[in-house]
Amino acid sequence: MATMSSCFEVCSLPSSSRLLGIEPMCGGENLIVTTEKSVRVYRVRDQKLLHTWSIRQGQQLTSPTLFNPRTEEFIVLQNKKTICLWTKDLEHLHKCTKVTVKKPISHLKLLPDADPIIVFDGGSPWWLPCITAAPDTAVLDLLDIEEELVWCDVISRGGGVLVVCVSKEAKTDIQSSSYTAYLCEMLPGNQDTPDYQTLQLTPPDNTSTLLACCVAEHLLSIWSCGSVCSHSLDSSLAAAEDGGVVVPGNVLHKLDLPKGGVSSVSVVMLGPDHVGLAMEGKDSVQIWDTKFWTLQADRSLQDVPGTGVDKLYRYGDHMIVARQTSVAALSFSTQPTSLAAVMGKQTAEAAALVPQEWGGPVKKRRHLSAESSGLLQKLLDPHQTKALPAFDQAFFQLKSDSEVLGSPAAACQLVQRVIGQQTFWARSALTELVGTGLLSGSSSPGLFERVEKENDLELWRSCLRHVKEIPEASLVARVRYLLGLDESLLEAESADVPMEMAEQDVPACPLSAAKAALLDQVLYRSYSGPFLQDSLAELQFTQVMVFLRYLHYKLTSAPAPSQGHEGRVVSVDQVVDWLCALVDAHFTQLVLTPESRDVLLGLREVVRQRLQFYQGLNDLDALLAQLKDKSPPLVTKKQDESLYSIRTIQIF
């Protein structure tokens, strides 16, 4: 996991000279910004310019300025062959100590605990003190003539420093280039040209070029086709001087590069498992997890002034972003990666927790006592409670602990256990659990199906009453079950809905009283239209017809919307909603089937009558509105705006 937070501009760069590099001073607190003409030191946290030096006309700097904490000196390369050394008290740069060497130097590198290292154009690394002591020492080239040094970096390994240089050899006949990595191990105090090993870096496909590298334990390289490869820097694999061992890099990941390809990519190590990545053209910085190659954080830099991202550096807990016109500091944080953290899986502790009471003084979250949790485990474990009596007994014991039954998680798990249990049916336990009212439609799937399988109507009714938030699909499934229910299973109950004799226009109830009562319970539940319609499409057509007739009957007999709330009776607007959804869902079938014709005509008749009634109401409403306008308004003294009015006033 990684996050990037605040980003602020550290300094702005002049567009006249090219940025050479940004190096840290005092461990990331200050930054040394080197351009071709000047060296400036900024303090990151308040963007204050601490020191600045510039060189004379006609000369230019060729490497980023380093600060050697051991000797407290600044080191920079001038015109590739002159090394300048000075302390921070120096006023003018041309007064610094200069050491000139014969061969051009390409890089200056520094690690915290070692001396600075000079890497010559030919690829050979030397300690700086050796060169400054004896500037005329003969320097041998490591690279061949056609090769050129493209990238160089140092890491500390063992007691010494490993210098990794990647060179590119341009082959004119084939369009690709071949890349070689030179590894030189430098030990402190070593005065000579060190030994080196070579590694051949193969591009993942033939036409790609190396875009960027960074090194930690492995050499990570990004190629223009988007692949990220890792090459092992194990010295045992590398061969000595001349024979290059071809080490195919493991293609770790394919980056999503924009269509035209990018010309430059900047990558920096942010820790053992994370790298920061920036692509040219996109104004954003990404943090990738190197273990699983997942994008952990992506931050756009549009709120910070400046354009583009040229290079990324990492010092301390800030990523320094060198843009075309400014330098920005972006603070980031990374946590160690693990699969669980990446995938986001919940830990198993949650089930054993008891919900907190919010009413009284804040109590600590209570965990179940050991005994109760043991019982719970026993109940949940199919092996421990194999038979119904054992289950019931354990349940009875558990019931005494009110905390368990107060926990929705525990209740859900128990319900799942009961439902899943095919060998016995723990009805009493289930009744108790349902009665607690802690279950909801989504947390206990399959409850209704299981109950229906047992054809237990009382429990079914109890479930319907106590389970909260039953989804529409489940409601429709209940309707389907009811419509297909055998009459014999229903007990002869006192009907909530009185049976009416079929009169001429009023349709008769197609279902038995008991079934109607049960169906009312289902229809009474809350629903939302679109989902209902989708679910109703699942019903079979015969059932649809029965349902339609029942709803038609309900339409004529159901009470008005404002009544009937307390009695849990289905009101007219609910019936209308179900009718709409049902007719919509099975529209084509209803149109095509001849037997639906009478029901539909009857429905149409009822609806037409109701509409007439509402039209009459509309006319009455217009008359009443006119009456309201005509009567004089009740105007208080303050609101009276008229020029002349007569009113009665009572003084005493």
Out of 358, 617, 632, 639, name the contact with another protein by CB under 8 A.
632
Site for another protein contains 629 (CB under 8 A): no
Cβ contacts of residue 637 below 8 Å, gap of 6+? none
Site for another protein contains 644 (CB under 8 A): yes
Site for another protein contains 637 (CB under 8 A): yes
To the nearest whole angstrom, how small is the minimum distance from the Cβ of residue 380 to another protein?
Answer: 60
DSSP letter string, 332-355: EEE----HHHHHTPPPGGGGGBPP
CB-based contact 300:320 (threshold 8 Å): no
To the nearest whole angstrom, how small is the minimum distance from the Cβ of residue 642 to another protein?
Answer: 7
Out of 503, 629, 638, 639, name the contact with another protein by CB under 8 A.
638
Site for another protein contains 494 (CB under 8 A): no
x-marked contacts with another protein along 589-628 as a string, rule CB under 8 A: ----------------------------------------
Closest to another protein by CB, 488 or 642: 642
Closest to another protein by CB, 172 or 639: 639
To the nearest whole angstrom, how small is the minimum distance from the Cβ of residue 651 to another protein?
Answer: 4
To the nearest whole angstrom, how small is the minimum distance from the Cβ of residue 648 to another protein?
Answer: 5
Size of the site for another protein (CB under 8 A): 16
Instruction: Name the residue type at position 227.
Output: S
CB-based contact 309:278 (threshold 8 Å): yes
Q: In the numeric block, which tokens belong to residue 545?
A: 């017809």
Closest to another protein by CB, 350 or 646: 646
Closest to another protein by CB, 381 or 640: 640
**Cα–Cα distance between 97 and 71 in angstroms, integer?**
14
Closest to another protein by CB, 145 or 643: 643
Three-class secondary structure assignment of 355-402: CCCCCCCCCCCCECCHHHHHHHHHHHCCCCCCCHHHHHHHHHHHHHCH
**Cα–Cα distance between 100 and 78 in angstroms, integer?**
9
Compute the half-sphere exposure of residue 287: CA atoms within 13 Å on the CB side of its CA.
25
Site for another protein contains 639 (CB under 8 A): no
Stretch binding another protein (CB under 8 A), from 66-74, 394-402, 423-431, 629-637: 629-637
H/E run at residue 414 = helix 408-420
Site for another protein contains 49 (CB under 8 A): no
Site for another protein contains 650 (CB under 8 A): yes
Closest to another protein by CB, 57 or 631: 631
Site for another protein contains 631 (CB under 8 A): no
DSSP letter string, 595-612: GGHHHHHHHHHHHHHHHH
CB-based contact 432:398 (threshold 8 Å): no
Site for another protein contains 346 (CB under 8 A): no
DSSP 550: H
**Cα–Cα distance between 24 and 31 in angstroms, integer?**
5
Q: In the numeric block, which tokens belong to residue 235?
A: 């010295």
Site for another protein contains 648 (CB under 8 A): yes
Site for another protein contains 630 (CB under 8 A): no
Residues of the shown chain interacting with another protein in the complex, contacts defined by CB under 8 A: 632, 635, 637-638, 640, 642-652
